[in-house]
Amino acid sequence: MARFSQRNTRLARQRESAVFRSVLMPLSTLVGMVGLLAVALIFFDHLINKRWETEAFAVATTAALLPVALLLFRWMRGHFNRQLENP
């Protein structure tokens, strides 16, 4: 039996995938880039001032990993499944 054999489920998942692809993924990529920049600045600050901001590093790392988490979520929901494209 196909994963998306019911039409309503397939259409709902197609709409969900479109929203993720067009809205959430670009936003998460932007947040991820800001997180990577923040991680780099925290490391640079550590090299210069010899201090370590644990809380800021945790927030920046979480922001940097957000696109990976959303990609994993999309994969688990079946957004990349070929059966989703069938009419």
Per-block mean pLDDT, blocks of 10 residues, the chain (87 long): 75 90 96 98 96 96 97 91 76
Helices (H), the chain: 7-19, 25-49, 54-77
Assigned domain for 12 exists: yes
Give the position of tokens 């210069």: 48
Prediction pTM value: 0.83
Predicted pLDDT of residue 87: 61
Predicted pLDDT of residue 49: 95
The structural domain count of the chain equals: 1
Range(s) of the domain holding residue 54: 7-77
Assigned domain for 72 exists: yes
Predicted pLDDT of residue 79: 87
At position 19, the amino acid (one-letter code) is V
Assigned domain for 37 exists: yes
Distance, CA of 58 to CA of 47 (rounded, Å): 18
